[in-house]
A and B are shown apart, each in its own frame.
Chain A
Amino acid sequence: MAQTVYSTTPAPATEGSVDVELRGVVKHFDDEPAVQGLDLRIYQGEFFSILGPSGCGKTTTLRLIAGFETPTEGEVLIQGVNMGRIPAHRRPVNTVFQSYALFDHMTVRDNIAFGLKIKRLPANQVRERVLDALRLVRMEGFADRMPNQLSGGQKQRVALARALVNRPAVMLLDEPLGALDLKLRKQMQVELSTLHRQLGITFILVTHDQEEALSLSDRIAVMNAGRIDQIGTPSDIYDRPTTPFVADFIGDTNLLHGHLEGSDGTVLRVVTPSGLKVLVQQHPEIPPEPHPVVVSVRPEKIRLSADFPTADNCYHGQISHVMYLGTHIHCGVRLSSGETLTVLLANRGQALPDLDTPMYAYWAAEDVRLLSAELPLPVSAGNP
């Protein structure tokens, strides 16, 4: 087995030296704000994702780091160096573009060698490193093809090889898997993760695919309308969202808008305008004083029962829709108070509930996430 030139350090801890730092970065395009005040630290060796809907400013953020855009305000630092006056071609980062942006007048080999030749590396070193990179993305047999002779997945691999052959401090990935079909995307996700572990360099991934971000990242920043709503580990983001937007954008959820009425010891009481009472576990970040709040209940946390169950939260309703998803069964429950809850049941071979069957939907107080309603929920990000 030929010895690989890439270090094989294992995935590092999140705390360490800072590779990329944004300080109060603001970007306007013709007075249209794209990014509004970003503060961000990305650590050496981290797999960091920037997740958000289209138009949230995530690609602009990546382009600010790469140097294709200059911030209107604020600073971008890479490995402690202020990038203010450093153009894209002198930054220690390499980008994998959404469109691949392969040079179609060059062979795969020349595409990958481009960066090394620019750096005037000796020819034998260029040859070796190009071969290594090709091997790494499993494209050894394609060195002499032209880009237009490759499939989407193969182009993606070449684009990856062309970036990582330069051994950048930071790899920037702009929706790299967006153009691939589902199966190939899953496969490439696994390969990206493996590559990241093998190379031990910082990966910054921009994506609108929450599953991709959750499965690949050490940490995720969820962006919404030019701002970061929450930064955290995948389980922070999914299990402990801090804003209604994050709760709604990451996975499915039931959002109930209501008013915090008071506290019963360790449990808070929320009442919706329709009169629904929801018990929520006391939350250190949410003050117990009465104020508007949003309650988020994940569909998989809700259970159904024909008989009256014992639970903190239990509501009577009727089945409004049933969808068979294979691994799961997706149900809607129309409550007597008017709300419709989405419920996800694991498929254990049980009979599908019939439409309009009366049912109790119930969940525990600790399965609910209480969020401050101060940050308004965008209209476009509503429940499906």
Chain B
Amino acid sequence: MAESPLPSSPAPDWGSHLAQTLAPQRWLGPVAMLGPSGLWLFLLLVIPTLLILEISLVPGLRLGQPAGGYGLGNYLQILEPVYLRVMGRSLAFALGSTLLCLGLGFPVAYWLALMSPKPWRNLLVVAFILPLWTSSLLRAYAWTTILRPSGVLNTLFGVLGLPSQTWLNTPTAVLIGLAYSFLPYMVLILYASLEKLDTRLLEAAADLGANPQQRFWKITVPQTLPGIAAGCLLVFIAALGDFVVPTLLGGASSMNISRLIYNQFLGPTRAWGFGSALSMVLILAVSLAIALLLKYGDRSTVTETSQ
């Protein structure tokens, strides 16, 4: 369709503008490309989420019992101290494992990106993500054999003459398991970010008198901050909603939000209303973290890594 020769005409012809917008050649392509996945998302994500939202607004809803009217009772229940403790614990697990991953992952990523022998670099990176190719359930089970009372760790303690410790079913075990599970993601994202670091800037900083520590804190860290933010948020999101590790390694004392949700739906109480409210809170928290990730994280490293 030919464009109007006078784009700044004082009286725009709305009719032809509308016709142009509605012309099949304008929308047919995008609809054909986005339609199938859009329908998929609508049926399997949007509608279920709205259903959860609806159920969460029916206080005291239990499977097999008549439902009452709408209200915020389920959400108020979350504010009871016992459940607030669960929320706090979930947050602590997520934060703790994020910090552990950052602390353990940064040196590894730095070495891989800037110091490892170049011909081996790709192979070393692949070696590092190898654990991701096995099931997370399997990896969590592996940790139970390491951490159980007569497990690998305590055997090692015995050899070294140290007293046996209780590892399994403690918060420490959950932190170890979560950090182990998500460390490869952190390393990959930091690696992608550090690999792009312009080392000439480090030379320039050295030239201006900065010693190695100053170069690290004033150049390397600020330059890779988007990668650090992306890695932390990604690990945080994954750890916050993780179910397998706290269930297998945490025991009764390590109840977190995802286990609590599981119990509401499949446990003896069948409190679907309360479970739905908890789910909404988790969805909200994760959405918030994703929003932060999109705003502050280095999106290119995230997409590169998740490919």
Contact = CB atoms under 8 A, between A and B. Distances in A.
Contacts of B206: 67-68, 87-89
B208 A94 contact: yes
B222 interface: yes
Interface string B180-203: 000000000000000000101101
Contact of A105 (B208, B209, B223): B223
A92 to B, nearest CB: 10
A368 to B, nearest CB: 45
A308 B255 CA distance: 108
Q: Which of B206, B208, B219 has the most CB of A within 10 A?
A: B208
A166 interface: yes
B3 interface: no
B286 interface: no
B23 interface: no
B200 A101 contact: yes
Contacts of A114: 205, 208, 210, 218
Nearest to A93: B207
Contacts of B208: 89, 94, 114-115, 118, 162-163, 166
B201 A89 contact: no
A103 B223 CA distance: 9
B268 to A, nearest CB: 55
Contact of A95 (B198, B201, B204, B225): B204
A115 B209 contact: yes
Interface size on B, as a range, is: 10 to 19
A68 B199 CA distance: 12
Contacts of B198: 101
Q: Which of A87, A99, A101, A102 has the most CB of B within 10 A?
A: A101
A68 B210 CA distance: 13
B214 A118 contact: yes
Given A118-B208, A118-B214, A162-B208, A88 B203 contact: yes
Q: Which of B209, B211, B218 has the most CB of A within 10 A?
A: B209
Contacts of B203: 68, 88, 95, 97, 101
A88 B207 contact: yes
B210 A97 contact: no
A99 B200 contact: yes
A66 B207 contact: yes
A59 to B, nearest CB: 12
Contacts of B210: 89, 114, 118
A166 B206 CA distance: 13
B204 to A, nearest CB: 4
Nearest to A162: B208
A128 to B, nearest CB: 18
Contacts of B214: 118
A66 B207 CA distance: 7
B209 A119 contact: yes
A103 B201 contact: yes
A101 B209 contact: no
Interface string B217-239: 01100110100000000000000
A178 to B, nearest CB: 14
Interface in A10-49: none
Nearest to B208: A115
Contacts of A115: 208-209
B204 A89 contact: no
B18 to A, nearest CB: 41
A97 to B, nearest CB: 6
A1 B223 CA distance: 39
A316 B206 CA distance: 61
B223 A118 contact: no
B219 A89 contact: no
A287 B210 CA distance: 55
A89 B203 CA distance: 9
Nearest to A68: B203
Interface of B: 198, 200-201, 203-211, 214, 218-219, 222-223, 225
**8 smallest beta-carbon distances between A and B, as pairs:** A115-B208, A101-B204, A88-B206, A118-B209, A105-B222, A89-B206, A95-B207, A101-B200
9 contacts: A67-B206, A88-B207, A89-B210, A101-B198, A102-B204, A105-B222, A114-B205, A114-B210, A115-B208
